A and B are shown apart, each in its own frame.
Chain A
Amino acid sequence: MRVRKLRSKIALVFVLMILVVQAAVQIATADAFSSAARNQVNEQLAIGDRVFHNALQSEADRLAQSAAIAAADFGFREAVALHDDTTVHSALQNQRERLGADISMLVGLDGRVMASSPPVAAAGQPFPYPSIIGGQQHGVTSSTGVLDGRPYELVSVPVKTPLTVAWMVMGFAIDDVFARDMHGVAGLDISFLMRGADARWKVFASSLVPADRAALEAAAANVTPGHAELGINGYGSRIIWLGQGQEGQAPVAAVLQKSLADASAPFRQLRSTLLLLTLCGIAISIVGATLTARSVTRPLGELARFAERIGRGDYRASIEIHSNDETSELAAAFRKMRDDIAKREARITELAYLDHLTALPNRVSFNEWLQREIDGASRNNNPFAVILMDLDRFRDVNETLGHHVGDRLLHGVGKRLADSLADTLAHAPGSVARLGGDEFAILLPGSGIDAARRCADTLLKALEAPMLIEGQPVDVGASVGIVCFPVDGTDMHTLLRRADVAMYSAKQANTGIAIYDHGSERRDLERLSLMSELRRAIENNELLLYYQPKIHLADNSMAHLEALVRWRHPERGLVPPGEFIPFAEQTGFIRSISRWIAREAVAQCARWRMQGLDINVSINFSARDLSDRTAPDWIAALLREHDVEPRQLWIEITESALMDDPAHALTTLERLRALGIRMSIDDFGTGYSSLSYLKRMPVTELKIDRSFVIGMAHDTDDEFIVRSTIALGHNMGLLVAAEGVEDEATLEKLRVLGCDTAQGYYIGRPVAADEITIWLARWNEKLASIA
């Protein structure tokens, strides 16, 4: 439909143009023709005017010559001289007849008619046209005159005896015959008009047919002498005034007419020819335009369909246009485009399925294989295995040696894996893919667990030899997880997930290869559910703080309370922190927990103050809390909110948490210190502390880990460590605290060693806030009793 419209449009444009041109030509020629016809008529009238005058004059001359001869007749002259009237009369008649004139008269020198044949004027009457006779002795003149109500062309010649004694006047009537003769000579219609009795102009002689004469009379109704033209429809006209009558008015008007229709006849012929040509031209141009349009639009349609096929991905579509113009160029361009698109699509597909770095298939490819294998294996009940391999410490390599080395490493690993597979699985199929990062996956169709394990062994062995990258030998190891279909799962995601779990456990346990253990899943699930329950725990107030007192060893007074979080799970009862805190730290949920702890501890502090008890509280921060830049801010806000002085708050951070990101930790600690909060390093001696960092940390206290304190009683090594730690702390200007005091002996020993504060079951177990007051009262009692 679209194509047809374009074709029609093109054809229509051409046709319209032709029509416009032709119309213009028609109009122009019509104009030109009509003005040419008019000009021709006018010219012919002008010529006719001259011809008419000439003809009339020559008729008159002819008559005059004949009259002159007649007037020279001796007998006539004698008769005239002798006043022989009858003879004169008969001679006049005779000559008139001889000459074929219509009238002949004898006019005396006194201007009176002497004789007339036929007797149109009575003798003795003055000759009404003295202009043609007066004064001229030798010349002849002629005039048009009306005699006896009829018009005549009159000539006069002198009658000489030998003196001029009279004038012979001869004339021919102006009638239809004359008009037709004139018409024959001049080629125009001639009419002679005379004023009738009613003073209206009447046609008395004409070469026109009666119908036209009536038209002429009507047109002449208002004409006056001096007019040069009459307005007659369809005619060009010219008026010639003849003769001289009374009051100087010409008595006769000759009207020359030329039919415009006649004049335009040849033009009409031309015009109809032109019209015919025009119509033919239009017809031809319609055909031509339609054909041309079609030759343009048909290829367009083909090209459109071709493009559609390419769009659908049919790269086998072909198009051929056999014209030697732009459309064939366009077709060639389209073909090239099809080829280019096909190539690009192939390339993209290739890329989509290929890992660029290692030239191994990528995750997308692997997923497709896996799905296909699952589908196939489900039908045929063939087992297969999936090996998931993760490189160990790859991040370290990247950071130490640079990413380009890491990339080369991956490439090398990929190659080794592929080669190893190719070698070992020459007859059993298998394929390796890089899933991303430092993760590779191998699909072993048709293999059971043992075959998979063997394959994994071979692959790990292949990686044992160090890789040479830029001259550097790089050691690389991997952890492998193996799952089997259908034992370990029947769908892709389950298989991959469990392979991941297996691999992860291999990495953690550093065993190289691990096969999926169904039990771990349960544990994972448990932990997952624990996670969500933990979130709810805060909302449902299932968390609560227990407080464990710490005492100054100098005077056994209470230093402060350490806040420890407990979880009263509705189903499981009291969940120890070791079961959920590490998990929370891993997931980052610890932040919410720490916030809750801080809030609760500060609030409790405020409550105790209200009760008149000035008690300091310490809370535990994780590495995540340290890296929270907003921590100082919300702690400050919390203190303000409960109107608790910063000096009442202690923050305990483990040694390993500090060293996780020492620079950031430093910043945060400094800000906390700036607020006025004091800090302790918890579990000292068990982490990887750096003394240089340690000396920069704005901490107040070191807390010796419980393992050393408990062992101190029977292990000299532990006792030595404790002693050294106390010395170290004191030398660095820090207070030293000991955790895990479980008996009096340890307590005393610590006191002897100079430890500043102590904490442990022997001193007090962690109890709820309200029980602390009881403990405090009892402790003070005990102190008093000792003192």
Chain B
Amino acid sequence: MFTFSPGLRVAHLTVALAVALCSTRLLAFEAQVRDQTGAPVEDAVVYAVPIDGQLPPTRPASAMIMQKNKMFMPLVTVVQKGASVDFPNHDDIAHDVYSFSDPQRFELKLYRGASQPIRFDKTGLEVIGCNIHDAMIAYLLVVDTPYFAKTGHDGIATLPDLPSGRYRVLAWNYRQHDLEARSEQTILMPAAVPVTFSLQLGPR
């Protein structure tokens, strides 16, 4: 998902609210993520897993993690299990993209331009790096739900179109000490109250 400008986001929210108001069944859900000092956390992943396990039959959306200016962009990406991710290289130098993470080991050996997309069929965290450039890092969280969002500057993530029902809402940020851990809360949609997560995070 791309990051929107604040203005755009407000507009987006308003639209979402309008839609939510119009449709009683599909509601947006807002979650706020803060760290232990109370500061809003950007790039935190919030996703909701229905408790009853009923997932819409839609195909998982694909994502793209590009390399530009010797950086992975975006830093944090969330995809639903089974989605494929593209790693286009928009630099004029080659990159060697790899990950040793458990869900999916892969290596895109030294390439420029487009890459082969990789399908992630396992849930979990993929820490992705470039062999040549030690500083390049990207996080890909593969979740078992299409309902996910990232927090912006304000630490707020909005999950759109959540059908009513009970959900487990989980939050994760890459600054966590234990990257496998998730903060969890249960909500019942439609919930009027936005949820706040307080995460114990390390330094940036």
> Which residues of A approach B to under 8 Å, CB–CB?
72, 74, 77-78, 81-82, 160-163
- Cβ–Cβ < 8 Å partners of B169 in chain A: none
- The verdict on B52 contacting chain A, using a C-beta distance below 8 Å, is no
> Which residues of B approach A to under 8 Å, CB–CB?
98, 100, 105, 127-131, 134, 136-137
Complex alpha-carbon distance, A77 and B132, angstroms: 13
Complex alpha-carbon distance, A82 and B105, angstroms: 10
Select from chain A the residue with minimum beta-carbon distance to B179: A163
Q: Which residue of A78, A81, A162 contacts B134 across the interface (Cβ within 8 Å)?
A: A162
Q: Are A82 and B100 in contact (CB under 8 A)?
A: yes
Using known A-B contacts A81-B100, A163-B137, determine if residue A74 contacts B127 with beta carbons closer than 8 Å. no
Seed contacts A82-B100, A162-B127, A162-B136; 7 additional CB < 8 Å A-B pairs: A72-B134, A77-B100, A160-B129, A161-B127, A161-B129, A162-B129, A163-B129
- Cβ–Cβ < 8 Å partners of B105 in chain A: 82
A42 vs chain B, min Cβ distance (A) = 46
Select from chain B the residue with minimum beta-carbon distance to A72: B134
Complex alpha-carbon distance, A77 and B100, angstroms: 9
Interface of chain B: mostly helix, strand, loop or mixed: strand
Select from chain B the residue with minimum beta-carbon distance to A161: B100
- Cβ–Cβ < 8 Å partners of A163 in chain B: 127, 129, 137
- Cβ–Cβ < 8 Å partners of A160 in chain B: 129, 134
Complex alpha-carbon distance, A82 and B107, angstroms: 14
Complex alpha-carbon distance, A213 and B62, angstroms: 72
For chains A and B in complex, what number of residue pairs have CB atoms within 8 angstroms?
23
A247 vs chain B, min Cβ distance (A) = 30
Using known A-B contacts A72-B134, A160-B134, determine if residue A78 contacts B129 with beta carbons closer than 8 Å. no
B154 vs chain A, min Cβ distance (A) = 27
Select from chain A the residue with minimum beta-carbon distance to B133: A162
A308 vs chain B, min Cβ distance (A) = 114
B156 vs chain A, min Cβ distance (A) = 27
Select from chain B the residue with minimum beta-carbon distance to A163: B127
B14 vs chain A, min Cβ distance (A) = 39
Which 3 residue pairs across A and B have the least CB separation, nearest first? A162-B129, A81-B100, A162-B137
B87 vs chain A, min Cβ distance (A) = 14
- Cβ–Cβ < 8 Å partners of A162 in chain B: 127-130, 134, 136-137
Complex alpha-carbon distance, A77 and B105, angstroms: 13
Complex alpha-carbon distance, A78 and B100, angstroms: 7
Complex alpha-carbon distance, A72 and B135, angstroms: 12
Which has the most chain A C-beta neighbours within 10 Å: B128, B134, B136? B134
Select from chain A the residue with minimum beta-carbon distance to B96: A74
Complex alpha-carbon distance, A161 and B128, angstroms: 8
Complex alpha-carbon distance, A72 and B137, angstroms: 15
Select from chain A the residue with minimum beta-carbon distance to B72: A162
Select from chain A the residue with minimum beta-carbon distance to B130: A162
Which has the most chain B C-beta neighbours within 10 Å: A160, A161, A162? A162
Q: Which residue of A74, A81, A82 contacts B131 across the interface (Cβ within 8 Å)?
A: A74
Select from chain B the residue with minimum beta-carbon distance to A77: B100
Complex alpha-carbon distance, A160 and B137, angstroms: 11
B167 vs chain A, min Cβ distance (A) = 30
Complex alpha-carbon distance, A161 and B131, angstroms: 9
Select from chain A the residue with minimum beta-carbon distance to B137: A162
Complex alpha-carbon distance, A81 and B104, angstroms: 13
Complex alpha-carbon distance, A374 and B127, angstroms: 163
Select from chain A the residue with minimum beta-carbon distance to B134: A160
- Cβ–Cβ < 8 Å partners of A78 in chain B: 100
Complex alpha-carbon distance, A146 and B128, angstroms: 37
B91 vs chain A, min Cβ distance (A) = 17
Complex alpha-carbon distance, A72 and B136, angstroms: 14
B120 vs chain A, min Cβ distance (A) = 17
Complex alpha-carbon distance, A300 and B30, angstroms: 131
Show 5 A/B contacts (Cβ-Cβ < 8 Å), sorted by A: A160-B134, A161-B127, A161-B129, A162-B128, A162-B137
A332 vs chain B, min Cβ distance (A) = 108
- Cβ–Cβ < 8 Å partners of B98 in chain A: 74
- Cβ–Cβ < 8 Å partners of B131 in chain A: 74
Complex alpha-carbon distance, A161 and B136, angstroms: 11
Complex alpha-carbon distance, A606 and B129, angstroms: 181
Complex alpha-carbon distance, A161 and B127, angstroms: 8
A688 vs chain B, min Cβ distance (A) = 167
A585 vs chain B, min Cβ distance (A) = 161
A567 vs chain B, min Cβ distance (A) = 168
Complex alpha-carbon distance, A50 and B161, angstroms: 69
- Cβ–Cβ < 8 Å partners of B100 in chain A: 77-78, 81-82, 161
- Cβ–Cβ < 8 Å partners of B130 in chain A: 162
- Cβ–Cβ < 8 Å partners of A77 in chain B: 100
Select from chain A the residue with minimum beta-carbon distance to B135: A162
B97 vs chain A, min Cβ distance (A) = 10
A160 vs chain B, min Cβ distance (A) = 6
Complex alpha-carbon distance, A72 and B132, angstroms: 9
A598 vs chain B, min Cβ distance (A) = 161
Select from chain A the residue with minimum beta-carbon distance to B136: A162
- Cβ–Cβ < 8 Å partners of B129 in chain A: 160-163
Complex alpha-carbon distance, A78 and B109, angstroms: 14
Complex alpha-carbon distance, A139 and B176, angstroms: 22
Select from chain B the residue with minimum beta-carbon distance to A82: B100
Complex alpha-carbon distance, A637 and B129, angstroms: 168
Select from chain B the residue with minimum beta-carbon distance to A158: B134
B125 vs chain A, min Cβ distance (A) = 10
Complex alpha-carbon distance, A162 and B105, angstroms: 13
Complex alpha-carbon distance, A657 and B100, angstroms: 179
Complex alpha-carbon distance, A74 and B128, angstroms: 14
Complex alpha-carbon distance, A82 and B137, angstroms: 18
Complex alpha-carbon distance, A81 and B130, angstroms: 15
- Cβ–Cβ < 8 Å partners of B134 in chain A: 72, 160, 162
Select from chain A the residue with minimum beta-carbon distance to B139: A163
Which has the most chain A C-beta neighbours within 10 Å: B98, B100, B127, B134? B100
- Cβ–Cβ < 8 Å partners of B137 in chain A: 162-163
- Cβ–Cβ < 8 Å partners of A74 in chain B: 98, 131
Complex alpha-carbon distance, A72 and B98, angstroms: 13
Complex alpha-carbon distance, A78 and B130, angstroms: 13
- Cβ–Cβ < 8 Å partners of A72 in chain B: 134
Complex alpha-carbon distance, A562 and B180, angstroms: 188
B34 vs chain A, min Cβ distance (A) = 24
Complex alpha-carbon distance, A72 and B130, angstroms: 11
- Cβ–Cβ < 8 Å partners of A81 in chain B: 100
B101 vs chain A, min Cβ distance (A) = 8
Select from chain B the residue with minimum beta-carbon distance to A78: B100
Complex alpha-carbon distance, A669 and B150, angstroms: 178
Complex alpha-carbon distance, A625 and B137, angstroms: 168
- Cβ–Cβ < 8 Å partners of A82 in chain B: 100, 105
